[in-house]
Amino acid sequence: MDERLPLPLQRTIARVMRRGALRVCGIGNALLDIVVQPHADDVLPQSLEWGAARHLDSRTLDGLRQEFPGGRLHAGGGAANTLAALAVFGAGCRLIGAVGQDSAGDTYRADLEHQGVSCALQTVPGTTGRCLVLLPPRQGGAAGAAAETASAGPAIAAAPAAAAKLDPHYVKHQLAQRAAAPAPDVLFIEGFLLPRSAVIETALAAVRTAGAMAAGYLPETGATLIALSLGSAGLAAEYRETLRQKLLPAVDLLFSNEAEFRALFDLPSRLPLMASQQNLPAGRVPPTVVTRGRGGATLLWDGGAIHSEGVTLDESAATATLDSVGAGDVFAGAFIAALFAGLRIEAALRFANRAAASSLLAGGGRIPSEQRERLREELRGVCW
């Protein structure tokens, strides 16, 4: 275990290592991902853009499905993807979310349980949330505009629908069911819940008593660490004050990409990331992992900054369709797993980079089956 980590993290990691199994509960939007590889001559609708995500209503998404039929279906959403990665490494995982009264909700639940994640899904009127992911053209032989499109990333259209109807009372009830689900060691919250602050506030109140908040941590009485993923730069900017004044003081581990991190703290693009700490509010920023795609990842905290270079994919990936959706979620899951396996910060960053890079080939925020055993072997004998 890394002694440079904040004491609350060290205490909880030590408790989990003694017990031998990590328990994680995630709360987030339950979105059924629909991953489609368009034909080479398909034209992207004006409402979508390569490398960008758009929120639409269900009817508009239905229209897009007429244009882009078929595709692979799997349980998505930031929290779900992170939990699926954690489950690969032996953690006991549970997702709290909401789905509609339709077959898509059944498909979502079945796929997530197949990934080893138990479901606490509220069923609400309406349709299950969906996310249409259009993969860019394959990169092999691409030139000019086609190459730029391929490097930009997928075009994404999300219709949260039922996912946005998650009831705070349902969340409170699920987190209070200690007999059915023991208190989690980590509560993972995805940033797309920021517009529904009541859900986040209810979850925080449910897992941390007023006494534990005041005293810091009570490691032998079930204190839960809070991990938050920002979700998008737009959300980080829109909810900047809420995050900085209310949520970050209660967060133990923050995940973001570079754009989200800069938006949250209003940092200029010219300021090097490793030199950004002097511009952050003193005492109010938890240890923060900033992912930078091919540029690797950096952990910033009061003790300094540690950077890990990105992973280079082998030559076989040059002609493959790379799906970056969910790669950051996989990184978060792998990093948490590595920390709780006792790896030091540098090793945990490298491990998470490798796991995230492997997910580019599998797509959908999943670690390929052929890579799972190799990655597990790195943690085996330490914790799981």
Residue 384's pLDDT is 42
Tens-place pLDDT, residues 168-201 = 999 999 998 765 567 899 999 999 999 999 999 9
pLDDT beyond 60 at 210: no
Instruction: Please state which architecture CATH assigns to domain 7-31+74-126+161-379.
Output: 3-Layer(aba) Sandwich (3.40)
The rounded distance, in Å, linking the Cα atoms of 364 and 381 is 29
Of 214 and 60, the one with more pLDDT: 60
The rounded distance, in Å, linking the Cα atoms of 62 and 73 is 15
The rounded distance, in Å, linking the Cα atoms of 46 and 31 is 23
- Residue boundaries of the structural domains of the chain: 7-31+74-126+161-379
Residues 187, 219, 334, 182, CA torsion sign: negative
Q: pTM, whole model, 2 decimals?
A: 0.89
The rounded distance, in Å, linking the Cα atoms of 9 and 235 is 27
Percent of the chain with pLDDT over 90: 58
- Give the containing element (helix H, strand E) for 301: strand 297-301
Residue 41's pLDDT is 77
Residue 181's pLDDT is 67
Tens-place pLDDT, residues 360-377 = 877 678 888 888 888 888
pLDDT beyond 90 at 136: no
Residue 142's pLDDT is 46
Q: Are the CB atoms for 302 and 9 separated by under 8 Å?
A: no
Question: What amino acid is encoded at 212 in this protein?
Answer: A
Residue 382's pLDDT is 52
Tens-place pLDDT, residues 101-121 = 999 999 999 999 999 999 999
Tens-place pLDDT, residues 272-296 = 877 777 777 766 789 999 998 888 9
Distance (Å) of CA 318 to CA 48, 140, 154, 357 = 25, 6, 16, 13
Tell me the pLDDT of the chain averaged across its residues: 85
pLDDT beyond 80 at 150: no
Query: Comparing C-alpha atoms, which of 378, 344, 346 is closest to residue 3?
Result: 344
| DSSP track, 175-230 | HH-TTTSPPPSEEEEEGGGTT-HHHHHHHHHHHS-HHHHHHS--TTTT--EEEEE-
